[in-house]
C-alpha cells in the first residue's frame, strides 16, 4: 500500500527552540495511526506541518503526493482543544462547512449532529467539551478528506465522552477507509483504536511500526544482573533497569529470544511506549533506566 505521508529530514525551529529534529518517517495509507509522546515532544508541530499550517525549517514533506498546503480538500484537521466559533450555532458551523468545502457531505454532517443529539440552534460556546470535539470532528469528516489528522482530540474529555468520540471516529474510519493520524500523550487512548504507532520523544521519532509487529518484536527480559551490552547481535536494548542482583531489559529483536538465562515476557503497548520515552529521558547513549 502507498504512503499517505512521506517525511525526510524534517526539522522545525521556533526561533532558537527546536520542536522537531531531523525527522524521517513514512505513514502508510489505510491505517489509524497513533502519534504518541510526552507533552512538548513535537506532536502538534508535526501534525501542523503535515496539514500545512506550519512550514518546515528544513527537510521535505509530501502529503498524498503533494507538498502540504492548508486549505487542501484532501486533508482534514481537528486542532488541539478542538476550536470552534463560540458565537456561531451548531447549524451555522455546518453551513460554514457547506460554504467552504466543495466536497461537503451534508447528509453525513446532519446525520451525525442528529445522532449525537446536538441542538442545531445551540451556540458552540455553550457546548460541553465532548460536544465541541464532536462538532469539530463532524466538520473535519464531512469535508470527506482522504487523510484525517487529529491533535489530542480527547485530551480534555471525560472518560465517557472520550470513548464516544473514539467510537465515532473508528466507525467512520472503518466505513470509509480514511487514513487517520491521531496524537495523544496517553497510550491508553490510542491502544483501543490504533493499528500503527509513532513514538515521538524530545523532538525525535523513536520508533514507528504496526502495533502487532511492535508487540511481537519487543520483549521484556529479566534475569541475573549483567551488562546489557552482552545481549548479543540483532538485539537492541531499548531500556534497562538494574537492582543489585537483577537486570530487567526491554529488547527489540525480530528473532525470538531463546537464551535460558533470561526469563522472557511480552509487553503491552503502554510499557513499550514508556520504555522508549524513558530511553530518551536518560542522557546521551546511556540507556539505563533507573527504576528504584
List residues near another protein by CB under 8 A.
48, 51, 53-55, 69-73, 75-77, 79-81, 83-88, 92, 95-97, 99-103, 136, 139-140, 143
- Nearest to another protein of 136, 173 (CB atom): 136
**Is the CA virtual torsion 147, 152, 156, 161 positive or negative?**
positive
For the bound state, the minimum distance from the C-beta of residue 30 to another protein, rounded and expressed in Å, comes to 22
Length of the chain: 292
Alpha carbon distance 47, 121 (integer Å):
32
Return the number of other C-beta atoms located less than 10 Å from residue 286's C-beta. Answer: 9
- Nearest to another protein of 53, 215 (CB atom): 53
- Nearest to another protein of 39, 230 (CB atom): 39
For the bound state, the minimum distance from the C-beta of residue 53 to another protein, rounded and expressed in Å, comes to 5
Give the chain's count of helices (H) and strands (E): 8, 13
- Nearest to another protein of 183, 241 (CB atom): 183
What is the distance, to the nearest Å, from the Cα of residue 213 to the centroid of all Cα atoms in its chain?
Answer: 17
**Is the CA virtual torsion 80, 65, 56, 10 positive or negative?**
positive
What 8-state DSSP symbol labels residue 288?
Answer: B
- Nearest to another protein of 68, 267 (CB atom): 68
For the bound state, the minimum distance from the C-beta of residue 108 to another protein, rounded and expressed in Å, comes to 15
For the bound state, the minimum distance from the C-beta of residue 136 to another protein, rounded and expressed in Å, comes to 7
For the bound state, the minimum distance from the C-beta of residue 208 to another protein, rounded and expressed in Å, comes to 24
What 8-state DSSP symbol labels residue 181?
Answer: E
Amino acid at each position: 500500500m502507498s504512503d499517505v505521508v512521506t517525511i525526510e529530514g524534517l526539522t522545525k525551529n521556533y526561533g532558537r527552540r527546536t520542536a522537531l529534529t531531523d525527522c524521517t518517517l513514512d505513514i502508510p495509507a489505510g491505517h489509524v495511526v497513533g502519534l504518541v509522546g510526552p507533552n512538548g515532544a513535537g506532536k502538534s508541530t508535526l501534525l501542523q506541518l503535515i496539514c500545512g499550517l506550519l512550514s518546515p525549517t528544513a527537510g521535505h514533506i509530501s502529503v498524498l503526493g503533494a507538498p502540504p498546503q492548508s486549505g487542501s480538500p484532501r486533508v482534514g484537521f481537528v486542532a488541539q482543544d478542538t476550536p470552534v466559533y463560540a458565537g456561531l450555532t451548531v447549524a451555522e458551523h455546518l453551513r460554514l462547512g457547506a460554504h467552504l468545502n466543495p466536497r461537503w457531505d451534508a447528509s453525513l454532517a446532519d446525520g451525525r449532529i442528529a445522532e449525537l443529539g446536538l441542538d442545531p440552534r445551540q451556540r458552540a460556546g455553550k457546548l460541553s467539551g465532548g460536544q465541541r470535539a464532536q462538532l469539530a470532528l463532524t466538520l473535519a469528516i464531512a469535508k470527506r478528506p482522504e487523510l484525517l489528522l487529529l491533535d489530542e482530540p480527547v485530551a480534555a474529555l471525560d472518560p465517557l465522552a472520550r470513548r464516544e468520540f473514539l467510537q465515532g471516529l473508528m466507525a467512520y474510519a472503518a466505513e470509509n477507509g480514511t487514513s487517520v493520524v491521531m496524537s495523544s500523550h496517553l497510550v491508553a487512548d490510542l491502544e483501543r483504536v490504533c493499528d500503527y504507532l509513532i513514538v515521538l520523544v524530545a523532538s525525535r521519532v523513536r520508533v514507528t511500526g504496526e502495533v502487532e509487529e511492535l508487540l511481537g518484536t519487543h520483549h521484556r527480559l529479566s534475569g541475573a544482573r549483567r551488562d546489557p551490552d552482552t545481549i548479543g547481535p540483532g538485539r537492541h536494548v531499548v531500556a534497562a533497569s538494574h537492582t543489585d542482583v537483577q537486570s530487567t531489559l526491554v529488547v527489540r529483536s525480530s528473532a525470538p529470544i531463546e537464551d535460558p538465562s533470561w526469563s522472557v515476557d511480552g509487553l503491552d503497548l503502554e510499557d513499550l511506549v514508556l520504555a522508549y520515552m524513558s530511553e530518551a529521558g536518560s542522557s546521551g547513549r546511556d540507556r539505563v533506566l533507573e527504576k528504584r
